[in-house]
Each structure stands twice: as structure tokens, then as C-alpha cells.
Amino acid sequence: MKFGFFLPPRKWLVPVIIAMGVFTGLVLLILHIGKAGSYLSDNPETCINCHVMFPQYSSWQHSSHGRFTVCNDCHVPHNNIVNKFLFKAMDGLRHSTIFTLRLEPQVIHIKKAGQEVVNENCERCHENQIMMMELYRNQEEEEENELLCWECHRENPHGRVSSLSSFPYQQVPKLSPIIPEWLK
Amino acid sequence: MKKISDTIKERPWLGWVLYLVTIILVFLVGLFGSSILERRSESNILVQTVKPINDPEPRNDIWGENYPREFETYLQTKDTNFASKHAGSHTIDMLARYPDLVVMWAGYAFSREYNQSRGHFYAINDIRKTLRTDVPQPATCWTCKSTDVPRMMQKLGAAAFYHTPWNEMGPEIVNPIGCQDCHDPKTLNLRITRPALIEAFQRQGKDITKSTHNEMRSLVCAQCHVEYYFKGKEEKYLTFPWDKGSIVDSIEKYYDETDFTDWVHALSRTPMLKAQHPDYELFQVGIHFQRGLSCADCHMPYKSVGGVKFTDHHVQSPLNNIANSCQVCHRESEAELTKNVYERQDKLFELEGIATNLIVKAHIEAKTAWNNGATEEQMKPILKLIRHAQWRFDFVAASHGGSFHAPLECARIVGTSIQKAEEARLLLSGLLIKLNVKLPVQMPDISTKEKAQKFLGLEMDKLYTSKMQFIKTILPQWDSIALKRQGFLFKYY
């Protein structure tokens, strides 16, 4: 099938261009109100575009990690940039689908792939503190039985409480308005 | 290969299919857009109040109906059982502990009574009962005591509020520092209700509404926990002296240039300055502020109760809650962390002890010089040194926790206080020799609060009697007027 198949007859060209323009404009508007551009950044406020992440944002902000790390420091891989954005895209698409379909659970748990990434990131920064642990672990335990950092450090950084309703009245930054300043 | 238009010409129903598919597609895109908008708006209605709260609503117990966890922890500021090495949540008679202070504040109401402060819960109770409010005071003194202040300022305007005498405002001010001083009743966002802070920012060309949430978690405290003064002999307008900067030297310069004097010392006739509680100023030059912490991080940490995490509104010394405050970042044991704090406090108290001792001597020697015919001219440089020495000592001593917030800055300040007091005494010795006074000057016995107050000629029995009279007769009147206005009077004692 050639591209020509989709081309309208010459006399329809103008209305079709307009119709396509309307559709593209609509999609751009969706990208704007969905703040699609923000997902390329490392800004922690991006993660609370969806309000189900308010508890995670608040608990992070009140923790010691709140002053020196952002969400992406822990929750996306940092071995190379392709991996980082691939992981971000996969996670992001799943999250947005679930959020749109209102399928978010009352208590959100991290998935296996996410756990591995976070644990690697713990080790990335805290390497010096865990040298002795590493030595011990390699001798005593199989790789698959590996303990995760937060199985002991359980309050770090989000705490053990994580239900959607467990953080009433969180004070988090507001979403930036959709309507530009000059139109108000 | 046929064009799509030709195919449609042959089978017209295909045109209808294309039409419907396009409709469905655009409809879905629109629906998706609405879904995003709807979910966005959900984040704005997270604050759900069972009973809407008015603005202003000074009654903390009304707020408490909506926010029981926050209110319950706020009520815990009632607790007075915590005692640390140098302070805590209970009343300490500071004049009894440090009798030198009586002489340092001679001629000023502080020499009558000066207590270590208790929690926010007691803000009204304690100002009503202190001997310092027996002298005529402006309503400005109420500014930091009550949630009724924003209400009255809305009604009268700030200037008229400050101008009113303290006891005239008494029946209006009954609810201690609480919810609406820091929170907007509609959104629960942090807000600034005291004009003095907003105005201080404006004079420095800063807009306080541009502050981040984390800055606000300190700025709501900075509405009161700062150095301030009452501007104007009549106006008594609450003002923060930060126009030249907020470190001790800049504030001192500001006061010198505006020729401001809190009172004239009864012994040395020095035009004195009284430091209030420059907590925010000292916190700003400490390491915890510089590493991005806010007041609330240590004084109101997160707390979890039954699966819910919320901000602990039991504002208190972090030493009484090391696990939730210090240990969020520091991995040392409670004992070790407490030791680190006490070590800083002990060292500063040692320096402060040296300073008070010297300043008291300077005051008494200055009095001796006056008694032996010293002239204004001769005394002027000496009095300036005494003014600065005591101001600097007081800047640290009056701050809550300054010795922990900024130990290095505090040591520098008390260090310069000692240096200035020594310099004053050096000049005084020269002058006294010139006046043929035998050195050393005889020091009075001020080893206890009672002896020191007697030395100043304070008739404490009379003061206590008249205060008791006030408590027995006037306070019930205030309360009954307030009860009529509010319908219910929560018992804050």
C-alpha cells in the first residue's frame, strides 16, 4: 500500500488540511494540559502531576533524602541515558494508563523492576557504607536471596506508611495553571 | 492502486465508517483531555472540612473539630514535664537562677520577673500573669500571643491595634497562638498573618508571597521568633529592625542610627537596648539553615499514628523528640546527640557567665562615677560600650536555642560583648582614678534574686499584691466578656 492511497483528491485538499490541523491541535492541547513536556525533566514536581503521588512526595520531602535527592535519583536507572529514558517511558506509560482508568490501588507497592533500580541507586550513593555488607553477602547468600536495603532500613525515605489516605492535608506545590497569565 | 476516494465511491458505506471512526477518535481525545482536567481538579479538593471554618476564626477548638490529630498534638504544648539541662517546657525563674540579670535590667520591668517560657498553649495565661504587664503597655504586646490578633487587626487596622493600651484590649484577646496564625482556613496553606514580617520584607525589596513552601515552614515562625521593637513613642508600631541586615552588628547599627532606646538604665544611666528573641536571625547563620532545613523539620517533625502520617503540632524542643527530629538525618544515638547539644550550650553558658559578671560591674562602676561628679562628656563613650556589650550578650541569652542553632556566631557575639564590657571598665577605671575614687569599687551583695531586687529598691511584695488583685478582679471580667462573644471559652490552663 502506497502513501498515495491516503491522499485526498485535489479538490478536497483544503478541507482535509483543516480537519487534520484541528485534530493535531487537539492532540497538542492534550499534551499541554497533561504537562507532557515536564516528563523529560528530573523535577520532583513532575511526579505529583498525578495526585496519587502526594504521599510519596510528602514523605520524601520530610525525610533526610528530601534535601539532597530528587525522585529520579532513586527511581530510574543511571547506568546510561538510553536505559534511563526507556525505563522512565515504560514506567510512565503504565502509571498514566492506570491513573486514567482509575485503577490505582489504595496502597501502592513498588514492582520488581523498580526495586532493582532503587536498590542499585542506594548502592550507587552509599557505596562506602556498604562495603562490609557486600563482603558478607557474597559469601553467605545466593544472588537471588539478596536482601534489599529497605528490608532493614524500613523508614527510608518514605516510611512504612504509604496508603493514599495516610497523609491527610499534605502541603505540596500546586500544579502550574493551564491557562497562561495573559489570558486571565 | 486505487485512491481511498475511489474506493469510497465504489462502496459508499466505507465513507460512513471513516466518518464514524473520526468522530470516535476525536471524541476519545476530548474525553482523555477532560479526564486529565478532572483528575487535576481532584488535587485541589484534598482539603475536606467537615464544618467550614470562617476567616478569621480565632477559636482553635473549632479548627480542632476538623483537624483532630493536629489539634490534639497542639494541645500537648500544655505539657510542662520536659526539662533539659538548661531549659525545657517548664517555668524556670531566670532571675533566681541568674541574679545578675536583675541588676542588668535595673529600671526596666524585666528586673521584676523573667521566666523561661512555656508552650504556645500558655501564651495568654503567662502574659496575663507576668509582673511585666503591670506597667502601662501598648496592645502591641499582644501581637504574638493570640489568634484573636488577626481578627482585631482586620477590625481596627494594625496601627490602631498597636496604639490601644494593653489592658483595654484584654477582653478581646483570649485564644492563645494557634491554627489561624499560620494557616489559611480554606486551603490550609501556610500564611503570614502578622504585618511586621511582611513590612520588613517589603522594606528590603522582597516579596514574602514569593516564598517556597519550605521557606514558609520557617517564615510562619519568624512572624514572632525574631528581634523586634516598638517604633514611635506614641505609635508603638511593631517593627523588625532588619533594614541593614539581620545579624547582630547590622541591627545594632540600625538602632544606633535611628537613636532607639528601650529604656535608660537606673544605675549607669545607659540608653539601653533589650534584645527580644532573635531565633530566626540566629538560625539563619547556623549550619542547619544553610543545609536547607526549616524550623518545622526539627520542631514539628512528621509523626505517624495508626497508619496516618502528619505534622506533629506539639511544637517543642527537639531534645524531647530526638528520634523524629535529629535521627531522621543523624545516625548517632540519642545519648550522643544530646551530649553534642549540651556541650555547645555549656560552652556558651560559660562565656555568658563571664559577660554578665563584667556588665554588672560596669553598671555599678558607672553609677559610682556619676555619684562622684563624672560629666556627660566623660561618660558618653563608656555608656555606648555598655549599651553594646549588654545588647550583644542579650541577643544570645534571649534567643531560644541560639547556642545550638548557631554556636559559632553566638560565641562571636558574646566574645565581642566581653571585649566591649572590658573596654568600658578600662575607661571607667581611668575615670574613677581621675575622680579620686578608691579602686576597686565596692560591689553590693546580689547573690540572690531577692538581694538583687532589694538592692534596686524594688518593692516586690507590693507588686505581687497588686498583681493578685488584677488576677482576681480584672481577669474574670475579661473572660466573661469573651465568653459572651464566643459562646464557649476553651480552658487554656
- Judge whether residue A173 has pLDDT over 70: yes
Would you say residue A4 lies in a domain?
A: no
Would you say residue B19 lies in a domain?
A: yes
- Judge whether residue B40 has pLDDT over 90: no
- Judge whether residue B14 has pLDDT over 60: yes
Specify the number of domains making up chain B: 1
Using H for helix, E for strand and C for coil, what is the string for chain B?
A: CCCHHHHHHHCHHHHHHHHHHHHHHHHHHHHHHHHHHHHHHHHHHCCCCCCCCCCCCCCHHHHHHHCHHHHHHHHHHHCCCCECCCCECCCCEHHHHCCHHHHHCCCCHHHCCCECCCCHHHHHHHHHHCHHHCCCCEHHHHCCCECHHHHHHHHHCHHHHHHCEHHHHHHHCCCECCHHHHECCCCCCECCCCHHHHHHHHHCCCCHHHCCHHHHHHHHHHCCCCCCEEECCCCCEEECCCECECCHHHHHHHHHHCCCCCEECCCCCCEECCCCCCHHHHHHCCHHHHCCCCHHHHHCCEEEECCEEEECCCCCCHHHCCCCCHHHCCCCCHHHHHHHHHHHHHHHHHHHHHHHHHHHHHHHHHHHHHHCCCCHHHHHHHHHHHHHHHHHHHHHHCCCCHHHHCHHHHHHHHHHHHHHHHHHHHHHHHHHHHCCCCCCCCCCCCCCHHHHHHHCCCCHHHHHHHHHHHHHHHHHHHHHHHHHHHCCCCCCC
Would you say residue A6 lies in a domain?
A: no
Nearest C-alpha of chain B: how many angstroms from A166? 4
Would you say residue A81 lies in a domain?
A: yes
For range A81-107, the mean pLDDT? 93
Q: Which of A27, A54, A171 lies at the smallest CB-CB distance from B213?
A: A171
The tens digit of pLDDT for each residue in B115-174 reads 998 999 999 999 999 999 988 999 999 999 999 999 999 999 999 999 999 999 999 999
Would you say residue B17 lies in a domain?
A: yes
Of residues B2 and B344, the one with the higher pLDDT is: B344
Query: Which band of pLDDT confidence, cut at 50, 70 and 90, is reported for residue A14?
Result: confident
Would you say residue B1 lies in a domain?
A: yes
A26–B307: do the CB atoms touch at under 8 Å? no
pLDDT, residue A139, reads 60
* Chain A neighbors of B44, CB-CB under 8 A: 174
Would you say residue A7 lies in a domain?
A: no
pLDDT, residue A10, reads 78
A82-96, B4-18, B273-287, B392-406: range with lowest mean pLDDT: B4-18
Could you give phi then psi for residue B251, rounded to 5 degrees?
A: -70, -40
Would you say residue B387 lies in a domain?
A: no
Tell me the residue range of the domain where A143 lies: 14-183
Q: Which of A9, A30, A175 lies at the smallest CB-CB distance from B32?
A: A30
B29–A64: do the CB atoms touch at under 8 Å? no
For range A159-182, the mean pLDDT? 84
pLDDT, residue A3, reads 67
Q: Which of A1, A54, A171 lies at the smallest CB-CB distance from B190?
A: A171
Of residues B88 and B3, the one with the higher pLDDT is: B88
- Judge whether residue B331 has pLDDT over 70: yes
Would you say residue B23 lies in a domain?
A: yes
State the CATH number of the domain containing residue A99. 1.10.3820.10
pLDDT, residue A145, reads 65
Would you say residue A90 lies in a domain?
A: yes
Tell me the residue range of the domain where B23 lies: 1-27
Average pLDDT, chain A: 86
Would you say residue A26 lies in a domain?
A: yes
Chain B interface, Cβ < 8 Å to A: 1-5, 22, 25-26, 29-30, 32-33, 35-37, 39-40, 42-44, 46-47, 67, 69, 188-190, 213-214, 291-293, 297, 301-302, 304, 307-310, 328-329
Is A40 in CB contact (< 8 Å) with chain B? no
B309–A8: do the CB atoms touch at under 8 Å? no
pLDDT, residue B167, reads 93
Nearest C-alpha of chain A: how many angstroms from B150? 23
Q: What is the Cα–Cα distance from A88 to B291, expressed in whole angstroms?
A: 30
Q: Which of B5, B44, B302 lies at the smallest CB-CB distance from A8?
A: B5
The structure's pTM equals 0.88
Specify the number of domains making up chain A: 1
pLDDT, residue A1, reads 55
